[in-house]
């Protein structure tokens, strides 16, 4: 995921919004908006709101994965387009998203990949259309921009989980079926196993501060989330459970982004904290570096709220499908969080 490209893209998006006359002062009171339930046999739309896909087999993988889950598939008109590193112009990518929400045949929307660029289309999304046609949208990484925007502007619960061309292993498939088909109030608990090790190492959680907390779960990719700070697309974290993850960031950058969440008031508002996986986030060369553990201790421990790290959230093959905006109860000792509400319309 090219984070520097993302930050530049977001600046251009803000300028575009101003030009288009978007009212950045307008704020919506976001009651939770439940998406409509889905079932096997429904049509799922596949779109690419972020970066372009270089390997055309990725389109095949995504289509076949959705069909294997039991869905019919409708491809976005502009799915295979390319504009620089983006999967088409801002207008084309936003058009596909809006069209999928408008299409009564399409019952859910899956993003084929992340990358960068989703923030550029946020001013072009028809949020009134989304409110009138609430349906599940799923993806992760750069798709955090869409999760934040959809929730902040409409209250819609969306799903931070595998992208269409990502890994659809047995863990992800079972979780998807339990959540979407069986409509269970899922408990998100790391799968574990010692394997050949004397002690458990894989998917090990670490409690930073014990306790339980209940609230709306919000967050996603830390880089994307922090870059939305100060925009109307940044969610209200009052009494929320914050979850974050990232990839390929040196600890000093994680420190800078956590500082942003502190300075913009997010950390002072939340009731619980869950850190997922930070893949390839080790210190680089130079004069030395804070460790990730030290950074989390400095920003999270003073909050005196339940907190743990190591959740199966992030750029990993087997990952939780987190219903962004839904109410959950977390337990920092067991390293779990559980849905406390139905997340689909009856």
Q: Domain coordinates of the chain in residue numbers? A: 3-13+32-181, 187-339
Whether 147 is catalytic: no
The set of residues, in sequence order, having a beta carbon less than 8 Å from that of 127 and lying 6+ positions away, is 28, 150, 153, 154
* pLDDT value for 283: 81
Q: Which of 92, 95, 245, 249 is catalytic?
A: 245
Per the annotation, the verdict on 104 as an active-site residue is: no
Q: What is the rounded CA–CA span in Å between residue 10 and residue 116? A: 9
Residue 194's pLDDT is 80
85 carries an active-site annotation: no
Is the pTM value of this prediction over 0.95? no
pLDDT in the model for residue 30 = 67
SS3 state of residue 243: strand
User: What six digits make up the tokens of 61?
Assistant: 């993988």
Q: Where are the alpha helices (DSSP H) in the chain?
A: 3-19, 57-68, 90-102, 127-132, 144-154, 170-176, 222-227, 251-263, 266-269, 292-300
Q: How many CB atoms lie within 10 A of CB 331?
A: 19
Sheet holding 307-309, edge to edge: 187-189, 336-339, 327-331, 212-221, 241-247, 272-279, 307-309, 206-209
Q: Give the model's pLDDT for residue 45.
A: 98
Sign, CA dihedral 66-276-278-137, equals positive
Out of 147, 151, 160, 315, pick the active-site residue. Answer: 315
What integer pLDDT is reported at residue 26 of this predicted model?
A: 41
- In this chain, the answer to whether the domains covering 3-13+32-181 and 187-339 adopt an identical fold is no
Cα distance between the two ends of the chain:
37
State the number of CA atoms in the 13 A half-sphere of 169 facing the CB. Answer: 7
Paired residues of 307 in beta bridges? 209, 273
Catalytic residue among 141, 158, 165, 226: 141
What is the pLDDT, as a whole number, of residue 4? 46
Q: Which CATH number fits domain 3-13+32-181: 3.50.50.60, 3.40.50.10740, 3.40.50.10470, 3.40.50.620?
A: 3.40.50.10740
Task: Name the CATH superfamily, with its identifier, for domain 187-339.
Answer: LD-carboxypeptidase A C-terminal domain-like (3.50.30.60)
Residues in the chain predicted with pLDDT less than 70, given as ranges, are 1-30, 285-287
């Amino acid at each position: 995921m090219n984070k520097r490209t993302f930050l530049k893209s977001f600046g251009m998006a803000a300028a575009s919004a101003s030009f288009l006359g978007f009212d950045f002062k307008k704020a919506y009171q976001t009651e939770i908006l439940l998406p409509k339930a889905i079932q096997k046999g429904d049509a799922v739309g596949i779109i690419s709101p972020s970066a372009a896909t270089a390997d055309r087999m990725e389109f095949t993988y995504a289509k076949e994965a959705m069909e294997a889950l039991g869905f019919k598939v409708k491809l976005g008109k502009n799915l295979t387009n390319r504009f620089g590193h983006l999967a088409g112009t801002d207008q084309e990518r936003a058009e596909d998203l809006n069209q999928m929400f408008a299409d009564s045949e399409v019952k859910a929307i899956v993003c084929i990949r992340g990358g960068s660029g989703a923030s550029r289309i946020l001013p072009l999304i028809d949020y009134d259309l989304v409110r009138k046609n609430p349906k599940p949208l799923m993806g992760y990484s750069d798709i955090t921009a869409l999760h934040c925007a959809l929730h902040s502007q409409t209250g819609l619960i969306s799903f931070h989980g595998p992208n269409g061309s990502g890994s659809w292993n047995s863990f992800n498939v079972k979780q998807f079926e339990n959540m979407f088909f069986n409509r269970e109030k899922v408990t998100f608990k790391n799968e574990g196993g010692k394997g050949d090790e004397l002690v458990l190492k894989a998917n090990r959680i670490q409690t930073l501060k014990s306790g339980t907390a209940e609230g709306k779960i919000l967050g996603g990719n830390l880089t994307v989330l922090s870059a939305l700070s100060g925009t109307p697309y940044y969610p209200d974290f009052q009494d929320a459970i914050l979850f974050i993850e990232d990839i390929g960031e040196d600890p000093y950058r994680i420190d800078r982004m956590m500082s942003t969440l502190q300075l913009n008031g997010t950390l002072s508002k939340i009731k619980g904290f869950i850190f997922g996986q930070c893949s390839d986030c080790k210190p680089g060369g130079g004069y030395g570096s804070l460790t990730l553990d030290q950074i989390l201790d400095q920003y999270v421990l003073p909050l005196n709220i339940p907190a743990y790290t190591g959740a199966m959230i992030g750029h990993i093959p087997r990952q939780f499908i987190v219903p962004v905006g839904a109410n959950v109860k977390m337990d920092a000792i067991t390293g779990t969080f559980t849905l406390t509400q139905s997340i689909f319309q009856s």
